[in-house]
A and B are shown apart, each in its own frame.
Chain A
Amino acid sequence: MPSPTKHIFFSPARIWAIATNTLLELFRLKVFYFLLIFAIFLIGSSAFMIEFTFQEQFQLLKDVSLGAMSIFTWLLAVLTTAMLLPKDIEDRTLYTILAKPVPRLEYLIGKLLGILFMLFIATLLMSAIFVLALYGRQQYVLAETLRTSVGMPPDQLAATLREVHNSTFTVSLIPGIAIIYIVAAIFASLTLFISTFASSMVFTIMVSIAVYLIGLLQGIARDYWLGNVTTGVLPRIFLAFVALIFPDLQLFNVVDDIVAGNSISFILFAKTAALGGLYTFIYLLVAYFAFASKEL
């Protein structure tokens, strides 16, 4: 007869197995094909930039690309996460996993980690497409500048070419893209939490959208109400509660700074990343409390 097996209380290997399996599932579901839409969108938008100055072209390309990256990563985070847990429950694969010595917390961590890996790869691929588009635009502008610079003094030409180079790739692009990824991670964790108690995938997605909108608007609402001296105590408490529960997405909005060419300080980036990490962790924790007592 087989002998009793010793239980490992917390196993990174179990979490890793679930995470890599989740990533494989999303890969074989061909979620990355949506990147084609992103690429087509970017290439299509480039066609309308020819009428602008090169600085405006680069700003527009960055604005459009980073904006699209924000939306696409957010959409990917919400839509893929919303289907994972309900699918496992409906197909009864969750029963076979939790009938093994897998704590529910490890299952959730593994699922979230798999989604975060997928989002990381998607962000990397979109960044590559964006960099290629920016590089292509830069080469086009350089060629045009050379073509139209006949008779221009060499110093002036060199200065123009230098300005083209400096306008293209700025240091703030990297932390900016990292913050886009962090916002997607927050919403992946939030969507996972909602899916632990939601009765349908549609409900999960609708609530995630609602939280996204609250996140976008709460800063404006807060400034308006707190700036008004007649606002009572209860509304102030309510606003504080909303600020705590829902992430203020204005704090994560660095696209305008990147497009303007402003640098993002390391301290600011570190604070923003830490805040994003905290929200991700707290939503995961709350997801565990909801899932731990869920009857299957």
Chain B
Amino acid sequence: MSAISIRHLTKVYPIPMRRERVTAVRNLTLDVQPGQVYGLLGPNGSGKSTTMKIVLGLVSPSAGSTHIFGRDSREVESREDVGFLPENPYFYKFLTGEETLHFYGKICGLAGDRLRRRASELLNLVGLEDARNRRLGGYSKGMLQRIGLAQALIQDPRLLVLDEPTAGVDPAGSREIRDLILDFKKRGITVLLCSHLLSQVQEICDRIGILHKGVLVREGSLTDLISIDNQTELVLENASPDLLSQIHSLAAQSGAKILSEHKPQTTLERYFLEVTSQKN
């Protein structure tokens, strides 16, 4: 069973007072398998946020369907196993960090000691234990992202949907969030990630889908998509510059060690720009 299953998803927004309509998502089909970190990429206005909102049941599709672990996204019960961190999240500023987690925990059905333990655990995980009694109105951008991550994890979900989780966060904080996501992956949590930070996506995602003007233009494993087919890359140890032009034989004769041999990669950023400029 897929963690997320999207079939022929289409979303059309009518423009009030006009006869025009905007197609935000067009006939999208994709699957996210359990335990994967899936990057959903695309320029602004490509349909990423709309797709995420439909998956989360916040918006209804015009056609097609979305399922989370086999449950229709339009049903409230499908969100039992989902944690969501929106882009630039604002939580209730009048609540402290601890109160925020308690609130979200209660609406997820947690209570009593179990909730208190879980909240403490998450505050510790995201590095906010010292700010637990401070109101969110006094939190920095990075702290808000981290408390947002904590509330997304409060009910121990099987799926995390993260929209720009490191937007506006400093490099150190960004690295911490990246490490957290890798830790989620190790624990078997599925992650659907939307991000404009392609270098970060390249570091953590297993599969990516690129949306452009509502259409899925590329989809697949990251390694396969950004590999350059007609080139081979060799990594040599203790090789002199003279060996490079006759690599295999010279390396064996001189005692140099071939550590790996694989297709060289362009950067995801370059690949992304090539694909989207082709579509334009």
Contact = CB atoms under 8 A, between A and B. Distances in A.
A8 interface: yes
Given A4-B81, A13-B109, A101-B80, A92 B89 contact: yes
Contact of B94 (A25, A98, A101): A25
Contacts of A91: 90-91
Contacts of B108: 100-101
Contacts of A101: 76-77, 79-80, 107-109
Contacts of A92: 86, 88-90
Contact of A2 (B76, B109, B158): B158
Size class of the B contact interface (CB-based, 8 Å): 35 or more
Contacts of A102: 76, 79, 107
**Among the interface residues A5, A14, A293, which one has the most CB atoms of the partner chain B within 10 A?**
A5
A11 B109 CA distance: 8
A14 B69 CA distance: 23
Interface in B152-166: 155-158, 161
Contacts of A2: 81, 156-158, 187-189
Contact of B58 (A11, A25, A28, A98): A98
Interface in B48-96: 53, 56-60, 69, 76-77, 79-86, 88-92, 94-95
Contact of B189 (A1, A25, A103): A1
B58 A95 contact: yes
Contacts of A16: 106
A93 B187 CA distance: 28
Given A92-B89, A100-B108, A295-B59, A17 B103 contact: yes
A96 B89 contact: yes
A154 B106 CA distance: 66
Contacts of B187: 1-2
A198 B108 CA distance: 29
A96 B77 CA distance: 15
Interface string A84-116: 000000011101111111110000000000000
A29 interface: yes
B142 interface: no
A101 B104 CA distance: 10
Contacts of B83: 99
- By secondary structure, the A interface counts as loop
Contacts of A98: 56-58
B111 interface: yes
Contact of A1 (B80, B90, B188): B188
A99 B84 contact: yes
Contact of B56 (A14, A99, A295): A99
A18 interface: yes
Contacts of A8: 109
Interface string A3-33: 0111110010110111001001100110000
A95 B84 contact: yes
B79 to A, nearest CB: 4
B241 to A, nearest CB: 49
B245 to A, nearest CB: 50
A97 B90 CA distance: 12
A7 B76 contact: yes
Contacts of B34: 1
Contacts of B111: 13
Given A17-B106, A101-B76, A5 B81 contact: yes
A90 to B, nearest CB: 8
A99 B58 contact: yes
A103 B157 CA distance: 18
A100 B78 CA distance: 9
B35 interface: yes
Given A95-B53, A100-B79, 7 more contacts: A7-B77, A13-B111, A14-B107, A93-B92, A96-B84, A96-B148, A296-B53
6 contacts: A1-B35, A4-B80, A13-B109, A24-B94, A101-B76, A295-B60
Interface of A: 1-2, 4-8, 11, 13-14, 16-18, 21, 24-25, 28-29, 91-93, 95-103, 293, 295-296
Interface of B: 34-35, 53, 56-60, 69, 76-77, 79-86, 88-92, 94-95, 103-104, 106-109, 111, 148, 151, 155-158, 161, 187-189
